[in-house]
């Protein structure tokens, strides 16, 4: 397998792939306002709702449609799993802190 295969970028720009790791909603907004989402047929209300509720899922979809399962797809998948896993612990900790403060 060629190493260059793992760094292939087809339609998605490098700035989007890097920026969406840290701020996916903002990256999607800039990408959409720039008019670059049209090759992916991203229009209508459903992509907007997904971008607001689960932006990392939409980013994963865009990367998969552009490159398939590639280096960037795996990196974003790992980032999504880390964020989703840590989000539940944060909410549980906050709930326990509120219960201790009340009782």
pLDDT, position 23? 93
pLDDT at residue 75 in the model: 95
DSSP 6: G
Query: What pLDDT sits at residue 85?
Result: 85
Enumerate residue ranges in the chain where pLDDT < 50.
1-4
Average pLDDT, whole number, for the chain?
81
Query: Where do the domains of the chain lie?
Result: 20-102
User: What confidence score (pLDDT) does residue 2 get?
Assistant: 47
- Indicate left, alpha or beta for 41 from its phi (over 0: left) and psi (-120 to 50: alpha): left
pLDDT at 1: 47
Inter-residue contact 11 to 39 (CB < 8 Å): yes
Is the CB of residue 72 less than 8 Å from the CB of residue 59?
no
């Amino acid at each position: 397998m060629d190493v260059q295969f793992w760094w292939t970028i087809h339609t998605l720009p490098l700035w989007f792939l890097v920026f969406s790791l840290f701020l996916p909603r903002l990256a999607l907004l800039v990408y959409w306002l720039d008019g670059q989402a049209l090759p992916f047929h991203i229009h209508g209300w459903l992509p907007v709702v997904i971008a607001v509720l689960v932006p990392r899922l939409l980013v994963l979809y865009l990367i998969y449609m552009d490159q398939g399962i590639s280096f960037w797809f795996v990196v974003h998948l790992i980032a999504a799993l880390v964020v989703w896993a840590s989000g539940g612990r944060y909410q549980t900790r906050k709930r326990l802190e509120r219960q201790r403060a009340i009782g």
